[in-house]
Structure 1
Amino acid sequence: MAWDFSTEPEFQEQLDWVEEFCRTEIEPLDLVFPGAAWSRNPKAKALADPLKQQVKDHGLWALFLDEELGGPGYGQLKLALLNEILGRYGSAPVVFGTSAPDTGNMEMLAAYGTDEQKQRWLRPLMNQEIFSAYSMTEPHGGSDPNLFKTHAVRDGEEWVINGEKWFTSLGNHADILFVMCTNGMFVVPRQTPGVEIMDYPATHNHVRYNDVRVPLDHL
C-alpha cells in the first residue's frame, strides 16, 4: 500500500513559494556570505533580516510549535514536507526560525516554563534576539541520564552547579545554556562566572561548570 504525502492546495502553494525562495534568495546568500543568517554582525544582519521578514509575512516563521504550545499546529506531515525543502539549504532553518538547538529548547520552555521564564527567554529566542545551546552529553556517560554526574545544590536563593559536558554545540556562541543536571534542567547564561568553555573542539564545545551560581527561578 502506498502512502499519500500530498497536502491541500493552499499549503502546497506555500511549499512552492518556500522552494523558490530558498533557491533564489537563501542559496545565493549561503554561497556568497556563509553564516550571515545567524551572524550578529550588523552588515550580515542587513542581508539576512529582510529574508526573515519575508518568511514572517508569509506566516511561515517558527512553525514547529504545536497548537497547544502557541504555534500553528501544522502537524508532522506538513512539517516534514516543509523541512524536506529547508534541509537542502544551509541557512534556511535559521531564516525560517526553526534551527536547532533553539527549537527543542523553545519547546521545553513552551511546555514547562513559567510565564516569567517564557517572557524572559522564549520570546527572545523566537525572535532570534538571543540564541541557546543544549548542554547534556558528559565525558563518561554519553547521553545516558542514568550516568550523569553534573549536579545542582541549593544554597540559599541560588543553585550551585558543578559538572562537565561534551558536545554542547555552539555553546561558545549561545547567550544561554540549557544544562541537564541529575536533579533538573537549568538555564545558565553563558557569561555566568564559573562557566568555562574549552578552546577545542571549536563548535561542539567542551564545557566545565565550576561552582556556577544561578537564581532559583532558573530551574
Structure 2
Amino acid sequence: MDFAYSERCQQYRERVSRFMDEHVFPAEADFFAEVAANRQAGNAWVPTAVVETLKEKARAAGLWNLFLPESGDGAGLSNLEYAPLAELMGRSPIAPEVFNCSAPDTGNMEVLARYGSPQQQERWLKPLLAGEIRSCFAMTEPAVASSDATNIEARITRDGDDYILKGRKWWTSGANDPRCKVAIFMGKSDPDNADRHRQQSMILVPMDAPGLKILRHLPVFGYDDAPHGHAEIEFDDVRVPASNILLGEGRGFEIAQGRLGPGRIHHCMRLIGLAERALQLMCRRASQRKAFGRLVAEQSVTMERIADARILIDQARLLTLNAAWMMDTVGNKAALKQIGMIKVAAPNMACQVIDWAMQVHGAAAMSDDFPLAYAYTSARSLRFADGPDEVHRNQIAKLELRAQLPR
C-alpha cells in the first residue's frame, strides 16, 4: 500500500497547480461578475466567456480530460494518480469545467467510454471529450425516495424500433445549460422482473427531443449555480430510437454502480481541496484580526479548530487515497466499503472545516466577499448527491458485519 505520488502524477500536480495560480484563481471574480451581469440581463443560463477562454488555455496546455484512463483522449491516469489533481481542482468552483473534468459530464463520459456503442460514442462521447457540448444525468425523482434507486417509477417502454419514456426527474444537474445536448435517463423497462436490480435500463435522450420539458430550475440554498444549474424535467412520451439504449435492457443498475464509484472519488477529492482552501482562509483571517487584545489566531479555541481541521483533512485524504488505490488494484466492487466510507467522511469533514472557517470570518462569511458561504452549500449538498450518508452507512455496516461474523 503506497500512496506516494508517481512521477507522472507529481508532474501533473505541478502543472495543474501552476495553471490554477496563474489563470483560474485570478479569474474567479470575473466569472461571478459575468454570471451576475447575465442574470441581471434576464438570462443567467449563458456560458461565460471567462470559462470558455480558460478551457482553451487548459486544452492547449495539455491539461484536459485528466480523469479518464480508458480513452486515448485522456491522460491515462489511474484513480490514485488522478485523485490529487481533483483535489487541486476542488479549490475553485470554476476549475473542474476548465479542465473538462466536471460532473456530471465526467460520469457520463465514463459511461459512454465503457458501455456505449461505437455509434453512441461517435455522436455523444467525442463532442463531450472535446468540450463542445455538455450533458446531464436524469435519475432522481421527486415522487419517491431516490436514495433507493430501485424505487424509481419512470418508464422505458419498447414500441417497435423505438422506446417511449415517461416520468418526472429532478436535481438533474446541468440541464439548464444551453450547451447540454444529451441526458442519460434511467427508468424501468421491466418493472415486473423478480430481480429488482434488473428492472431498470439507461437510455440516451437528446435534450431537444419532443416531449422533454424543463419545468424549472432548482436553487441550492438560494444559489442558482448558473450557468450550470439543476433542473426538474418532465419526460412526456418522449420517443427515442431503440439504438439509444445503453448496454441493453435491464442493465441500468449495473451501469449506475459502475458510474458512481469513480465519481465518488472525484467528489471527495474536490471536497478535500475545498476544505484546504477554507483552512487557508481561516488561518489568514485569524492572523489579521484582533479580539480581546489578541489575534484571533492566538485564541485557544481557534488554535484547537485549526489543529482539528488539519487532522480531519489529512484523515479524509488518506481514506480517499486508500479507496482509489483499492479501486485500481482490486476493482470497484471489492472497494465498495472504502468508497462508502469516504463518501460519508469527506462531505462531513468539509462541512465542519468550512463551518469553523466561517466562524473565524464572522458575519463576513455570510456575504459573497468570501467564497465560504457558497463552499458550505456545495459541501452540504454532497451529503445527498451520489447517495445520502444514511445509505452509505448502512452499506458499510452490512459489509463490516459480513466480515466480522463467523460464516
Match of 1:153 among 157, 165, 168: 157
1:12 paired residue number: 10
Q: Aligned partners of 1:195 and 1:7: how far apart in 2?
A: 45
TM superposition score normalised by structure 1: 0.86
**In the alignment, does 2:174 pair up with 1:170?**
yes
**Structure 1 unmatched runs, 5+:** none
Match for residue 76 of structure 1? Answer: 79
Match of 1:66 among 62, 65, 69: 69
Match of 2:203 in 1: 186
TM superposition shift of 1:11: 3.6
Q: Gapped runs of 5+ residues in structure 2?
A: 36-44, 190-200, 220-228, 246-407
Q: Distance in 2 between matches of 1:190 and 1:35?
A: 28
1:8-87 to structure 2, matched below 5 A, reads: 8-34=6-32, 44-45=48-49, 47-67=50-70, 69-70=71-72, 71-87=74-90
Q: What root-mean-square deviation, in Å, do the aligned CA atoms of Structure 1 and Structure 2 show?
A: 2.3
Larger radius of gyration: 2
CA distance change for structure 1 residues 193 and 35 in 2, over 3 Å: closer, same or farther? farther
| Cα-to-partner distance string for 1:17-75 (whole Å, 9 max, x where unaligned) | 211211221112221123979x865xx44x444533333344321021224x4443311
- Report if aligned partners of 2:12, 2:85 keep a CA contact under 8 Å in 1: no
* Paired residues for 1:82-101 under 5 Å: 82-101=85-104
Matched residues in 2 for 1:100 and 1:200: separation?
17
- Corresponding residue number in structure 2 for 1:207: 233
- Give the aligned partner of residue 271 of structure 2: none
More strand by share: 1
Whether the aligned pair in 1 keeps the contact of 2:54 and 2:98 (CA below 8 Å) is yes
Contact 2:214 2:233 in 1 (8 A): yes
- The amino acid of 2:103's aligned partner reads A
Aligned counterpart, 2:133: 130
Q: Distance in 2 between matches of 1:170 and 1:145?
A: 20
CA contact (8 A) 2:51 2:98 kept: yes
Instruction: Quote the Cα distance in structure 2 between the aligned partners of 1:175 and 1:63.
Output: 22
TM-score, with normalisation over the residues of structure 2?
A: 0.48
CA offsets, 1:63-88, max 9 Å, x none? 21224x44433112211111111100
